[in-house]
A and B are shown apart, each in its own frame.
Chain A
């Protein structure tokens, strides 16, 4: 795991890529070479000293050849709305890379990526890493309506992609976990397959049930409120499925995660 550092890169571009969803690109060669899929960075919101905490963002993509790094974010809160207003040349204060990242090994024969909404963010880099190892990928990507899809053309060109929308405006009408169930039902053999999931909490709970039922190993990338991102505040506690009562009952999303084996954690909400 590479050591974390503070950087003050300049923004190359902030581009709207879907409804309320923005892609922010900056130049940071160290990060682009060392960040792994599933890791994150913390950004201090520029021009807003009233926003105290840094905000955590999954690393969406890196290009080690030109040193660029991209994050994807939903402009919904005070911090992210301020980020959406940044332009080329603005300086951002970032800390990273943080967290553990997705796990895979030589035994992996097929990866099944399940993305809900902005949960797609870490999968572009995961796709890149798994493609380099020659691992075939199937991806289920669901949103509430088609205006929220981002990067569909990219994923369509590189993985076996199936889309879903809750309102039926594009792809399968319904929730993305239905597609996962249908897929797993059709598989003769789940050996050497792994599910990677990121998305809203109800979807994660459902994937946890599905993973237990089949059973199939699944890794989840979690998002939790955090004040620091590197284990100092101890605020981002997640209950363990198998705690040592009175001794150790919680993992920290920032240090032990943000990627967990889905059976290890209690998903609340």
Chain B
């Protein structure tokens, strides 16, 4: 029997498999396909204080090895989220992480403050890093703002706090250290890589918003380098995100220093990817006589 438990600060996961925000809806979309309780942690699609319609189409482009998206955080808004989405999430027997964002600095605190009254929430993930909304970038690229927001939210909650970081900066460690100072219990990285595609027949950008976020297997090496860097420079745990589609991908990240990981784009084309990865991880540990999966974390020489 392999012990798959991992500890993300105060948050204990029964296994290191999580879902990445914005790729798993509010979990209900996947209930016919996977046993949700087998997943270590479910991170919901970003909720903002007010409803957002999202960006105009075209929102997605398939590319070799990955995809571009510019969805724009459509969501029903905080109050409707609590009313419409939370009841299902509260029935789950796994850790539920609510991903929040604000269109202003105060928006993050506004979400968390209201969610403190709601049961069935294991942790918060602060979305500092969506490249597809106007203000997302400054939160994610300015260490002072990121630290200020984290500290403001920290004062409101004892629940674990995860800060999700963008790779679109000169030094991801600088932002990571800032949110660590602000009181984050963990960081998750990476969000999507800013990218673009052009329709040469129409001579127009393929995405309505011109640029978007690139994700999928192609970003894995970029993500690995960032996760490795964060794990070496931060004292808080790192949750890896970026092109994880198989157990082998996940193992690379854990060996490079990630304590847990999130499956993102793969959920779209292989909706049971999380379960397959969990099983693959278990098999790998058995084959290599690893009794506790945490032995792998940061196992690089």
Interface residues of chain A, those whose CB is within 8 Å of chain B, are 3-6, 44, 50, 52-54, 95, 224-228, 230-239, 243-250, 268
Among B49-57, B170-178, B182-190, which stretch is in contact with chain A? B49-57
Residues of B with C-beta under 8 A to A227 = 60, 62, 67, 69, 265, 268-269
> Once the chains are docked, how many angstroms separate the CA of A231 from the CA of B229?
34
B contacts with A, residue count (CB < 8 A): 38
Q: Are A52 and B53 in contact (CB under 8 A)?
A: no
> Once the chains are docked, how many angstroms separate the CA of A226 from the CA of B71?
12
Residues of A with C-beta under 8 A to B269 = 44, 52-54, 227-228
Smallest Cβ distance from B192 to chain A, in angstroms?
Answer: 13
Tell me what chain A mostly uses at the interface: helix, strand, loop, or mixed: loop
Q: Which 5 pairs, one residue from A and one from B, show the smallest C-beta to C-beta distance?
A: A235-B60, A249-B53, A228-B268, A3-B32, A227-B268
Residue of B22, B60, B67, B272 with most chain A CB atoms under a 10 A cut-off = B60
Residues of A with C-beta under 8 A to B56 = 237, 239, 250
With A5-B33, A53-B268, A235-B71 already in contact, the answer to whether A225 and B64 are too (CB < 8 A) is no
Number of A-B contacts (CB under 8 A): 102
Smallest Cβ distance from A82 to chain B, in angstroms?
Answer: 14
> Once the chains are docked, how many angstroms separate the CA of A73 from the CA of B57?
25
Partner of A228, one of B52, B53, B66, B267: B267
> Once the chains are docked, how many angstroms separate the CA of A234 from the CA of B45?
10
> Once the chains are docked, how many angstroms separate the CA of A248 from the CA of B55?
11
Q: Are B271 and A233 in contact (CB under 8 A)?
A: no
Q: List residues of B (50-104) whose CB comes within 8 Å of A's CBs.
A: 51-62, 64-67, 69, 71, 74, 77
Q: Mark B181-220, 1 if CB is under 8 A from A, else 0.
A: 0000000000000000000000000000000000011000
Partner of A250, one of B65, B74, B270, B271: B74
Interface residues of chain B, those whose CB is within 8 Å of chain A, are 22-25, 29-30, 32-33, 45, 51-62, 64-67, 69, 71, 74, 77, 216-217, 265, 267-272
Partner of B67, one of A53, A54, A244, A249: A53
Smallest Cβ distance from B284 to chain A, in angstroms?
Answer: 20
Q: Are B216 and A235 in contact (CB under 8 A)?
A: no
Smallest Cβ distance from A102 to chain B, in angstroms?
Answer: 22
> Once the chains are docked, how many angstroms separate the CA of A192 from the CA of B85?
38
Residues of A with C-beta under 8 A to B32 = 3-5
Partner of A231, one of B29, B55, B272: B29
Smallest Cβ distance from A95 to chain B, in angstroms?
Answer: 7
Partner of B53, one of A53, A232, A248, A268: A248
Partner of B272, one of A6, A230, A234, A239: A6
Residue of A54, A234, A236, A249 with most chain B CB atoms under a 10 A cut-off = A234
